[in-house]
A and B are shown apart, each in its own frame.
Chain A
Amino acid sequence: MSKTTFAANFDSLDDIREFVGEEARRVGFSDKEIYAIQLAADEASTNIIEYAYDGVENGKIEIDCSIVNEELKIVMRDQGKPFDPSSVPEPNVNGDLAERKIGGLGIYLMRKLMDKVSYETSAEGDNLLTMVKRVGDRG
Chain B
Amino acid sequence: MFSPELIESLRQKLSLLSPSLVGLGFELMLAGVGLFLLLLDVLLPKKPVTFFWWVATGGLLAAGAVLAGAHFYFPVEETSYLLGKMLRITAETLYFKGLLGISALLTLWMLRGSAFFHRLDFPAGAFLFLFLSNVLGLSVLAMSAHWLSVYFSLELVSVSAYLLTAFHFEPRAGEGSIKYLLFGATASAVMLYGLSFLYGFTGTLEIFSPTFLQVPVSKHPVLGLVWVLALGGLLFKMAAFPFHIWAPDVYQSAPTPIVAFFSVAPKVVALWVLWQIASFLYEIEELRRLFSLFWAGVALLSIGLGNFAALWQTHLKRLMAYSSIAQTGFLLVVLVVPSPGGFSALLFYTTVYALMNFGLFWGIAKMASPEETLDCLAGKGREQVLAGGVLVLMAIALVGLPPTAGFTAKLLIFSGLWEAYQTWPHPALLVLFIFGLLNAAVFAFLLSQNSFLAFFQRKKHQRFAGKKYLILTCL
Query: A and B from one assembly?
Result: no
Interface residues of B (CB under 8 A from A): none
Interface residues of A (CB under 8 A from B): none
